[in-house]
């Protein structure tokens, strides 16, 4: 795993430039929402995703369509409304049969796989909605959310916060040809230190990236201060 620690003021510009370098015709991307990637997304050129297919990393359950706390809404307003993708796929949490929906989404991802997955890091070490205890073999599925993740959803305006979600599985994420973990701010320093220097354990799902052949952590100096 490669670890890049960048000055706070250079972080978003560097990651955005690296991201644009990767883009090419037909690229298949998994993109996260949350606060961390927003400064990167805001720097991308308006045609950056014109030939890419974007898969949303996860979605909260129980919020009405269009709710500002829904991951789909967040990705549209932080990125896709200004930088449209050739194709955008997301898990439909309003589907009547969620098991069928999970299979549909998983098959769509598997049909070509992912070239690059861009992820954030949860305060509890989760990747997407793969909470502590999630194994590398777990596929896209419905998950119960931990109190830390529910707090995160509250920050995004979901109040009361959802208690379940639909998670792209670690098996699909770890099969991506390249995985990026974006981490900023002093509140992530301790968990990031655990991801890089602690044991590789399902209790800290992001540590499983250490077994990935092409994973990069893009941290700013605040998040990287304890490593």
Is 161 one of the binding residues for ligand PGA (CB under 6 A)?
Answer: no
Among residues 59, 72, 131, 222, the one annotated as catalytic is 131
Q: Of residues 91, 152, 165, 169, which one binds ligand PGA by CB under 6 A?
A: 152
Q: How far apart are CA 193 and CA 225, in angstroms?
A: 8
Interacting stretch for ligand PGA, rule CB under 6 A, among 102-110, 115-123, 164-172, 208-216? 115-123
The CB-of-39 to ligand PGA minimum distance in angstroms stands at 11
122 binds ligand PGA (CB under 6 A): yes
- Cα(2)–Cα(226) distance, integer angstroms: 17
Nearest to 59 by CA among 166, 142, 173, 171: 166
Q: Give yes or no: 126 in active site.
A: yes
Please report, as residue ranges, which positions from 25 to 64 form the binding site for ligand PGA (by CB under 6 A): 34-36
Tokens matching residue 150: 């529910």
Q: 141 and 166 in contact (C-beta within 8 Å)?
A: yes
Q: How far is the CB of 25 from ligand PGA (least distance, A)?
A: 29
Q: By CB under 6 A, tell whether 120 contacts ligand PGA.
A: yes
Query: Is residue 73 a contact residue for ligand PGA (CB under 6 A)?
Result: no
DSSP 44-98: S-TTTTTT-EEEE-EEESSSPTT-TTSHHHHHIIIIITTS--SEEE---TT-S-H
Concerning whether 212 is annotated as a catalytic residue, the answer is no
Q: What is the largest CA-CA distance in the chain?
A: 46
The residue among 115 and 128 lying less far from ligand PGA, judged by its C-beta, is 128
CB of 101 to ligand PGA, least distance (A): 21
* CB closer to ligand PGA, 39 vs 198: 39
Q: At its nearest, how many Å lie between ligand PGA and the CB of residue 100?
A: 26
User: Is 159 designated active site?
Assistant: no
Give the residue among 4, 1, 84 at the shortest CA–CA distance from 46: 84
Residues 6 or more apart whose Cβ sits within 8 Å of residue 2: 215, 216, 217
Positions annotated as catalytic residues are 58, 124, 126, 131
Instruction: By CB under 6 A, name the binding residues for ligand PGA.
Output: 34-36, 120-122, 126, 152
């Amino acid at each position: 795993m490669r670890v890049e620690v960048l000055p706070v003021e250079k972080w978003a510009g560097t990651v955005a430039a690296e991201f644009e370098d990767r883009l090419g015709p037909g690229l298949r991307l998994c993109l996260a929402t949350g606060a961390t990637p927003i400064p990167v997304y805001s720097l991308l050129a308006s045609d950056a995703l014109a030939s890419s297919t974007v898969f949303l990393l996860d979605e909260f359950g129980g919020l009405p369509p269009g709710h500002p706390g829904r991951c789909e809404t967040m990705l549209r307003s932080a990125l896709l409304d200004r930088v449209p993708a050739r194709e955008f796929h997301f898990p439909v949490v309003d589907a009547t049969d969620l098991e069928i929906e999970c299979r549909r989404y998983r098959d769509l991802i598997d049909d070509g796989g992912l070239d690059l997955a861009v992820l954030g890091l949860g305060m509890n070490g989760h990747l997407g909605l793969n909470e502590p205890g999630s194994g590398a073999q777990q596929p896209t599925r419905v998950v119960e959310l931990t109190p830390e993740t529910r707090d995160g959803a509250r920050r995004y305006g979901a109040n009361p916060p959802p208690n379940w979600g639909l998670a792209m599985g670690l098996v699909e994420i770890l099969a991506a040809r390249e995985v990026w973990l974006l981490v900023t701010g002093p509140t992530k320093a301790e968990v990031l230190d655990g991801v890089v220097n602690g044991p590789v354990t399902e209790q800290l799902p992001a540590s499983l990236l250490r077994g990935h052949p092409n994973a990069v952590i893009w941290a700013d100096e605040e998040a990287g201060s304890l490593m």
